[in-house]
Structure 1
């Protein structure tokens, strides 16, 4: 696949690339493909977390998974989950940052650098109020929570959660983290 212009790829190009694999992201004008098969742990966590957040979300919030966020003309990452306050549109292919209140990335070995650093900075610069980066710690999820500090435009750490998570924002969220994934057997 070759970029359609010398400047590389733009956000709108993702909607016109039928040959691109699923879960293709655009970071700084470059296409990023998932290089390795998704781990079962990752898929199970995203599914169970989606259900848990949907059950707790008040009216006006929707939970979406694996949808891109158009941060600007050269960046359209695809978080594992996002919370939006935009009404459901079955034809939508992306969300704008102002429509997103929380993005969640579940770290995989191949996405670790992007999730921990690149996306952390890009989501903050775009003004998304909340970011969760979830790590696998011996089979159980550990959630690194960040809140946007508006004066600096950067994320401030709001806690590292093991076992359970209780957050008052973007709405009241209570999670038993240990129940999100099955335990590994000896």
Structure 2
């Protein structure tokens, strides 16, 4: 999610990224949930959500605090899709 409209084929600065959603791939859980999370924190992306490939497709929402992402909430994807973005404080 970007905080500005993005034209086709144009990449905005990472500082304009408000949210990254990572879908955990089988076999690359460490990269998806540790390596990438650290990279996102380093560049200051305010929110990082992880979608697991469990039966509920659990979404774990993290909000940047300093240089790490503590968990703010965790819920099934169906619940996330039935709420408004304002309920998740996207900035």
Q: Shorter chain as normaliser: what TM range?
A: 0.7 to 0.9
Q: Check conservation: 2:50, 2:59, Cα contact below 8 A.
A: yes
**1:40-67 deviations in Å (ceiling 9; x for gaps):** xxxxxxxxxxxxxxxxxxxxxxxxxxxx
Task: Verify: 1:142 aligned to 2:58, yes or no.
Answer: yes
More strand by share: 1
The structure that has the greater radius of gyration is 1
**1:38-94 deviations in Å (ceiling 9; x for gaps):** xxxxxxxxxxxxxxxxxxxxxxxxxxxxxxxxxxxxxxxxxxxxx0022221221x3
SS in 2 for 1:160: strand
For the aligned residue pairs, the C-alpha RMSD in angstroms reads 1.7
Flag the structure with more relative contact order, 1 or 2, with Cα contacts below 8 A and sequence separation at least 6: 2
Structure 1: distance between partners of 2:30 and 2:67: 21
Structure 1: distance between partners of 2:90 and 2:22: 16
Structure 2: distance between partners of 1:170 and 1:113: 25
Within-5 A mapping of 1:1-186:
83-92=1-10, 94-138=11-55, 140-149=56-65, 152-162=66-76, 164-165=79-80, 166=83, 167-170=87-90
Q: CA deviation at 1:133?
A: 0.6
- Number of positions where the alignment pairs a residue of Structure 1 with one of Structure 2: 85
Structure 2: distance between partners of 1:153 and 1:135: 23
More helix by share: 2
Q: CA deviation at 1:137?
A: 1.3
- Give the TM-score, by structure 2 length: 0.80
SS in 2 for 1:125: helix
Q: Which runs of 5+ in 1 are unaligned?
A: 1-82, 172-186
- Give the TM-score, by structure 1 length: 0.42
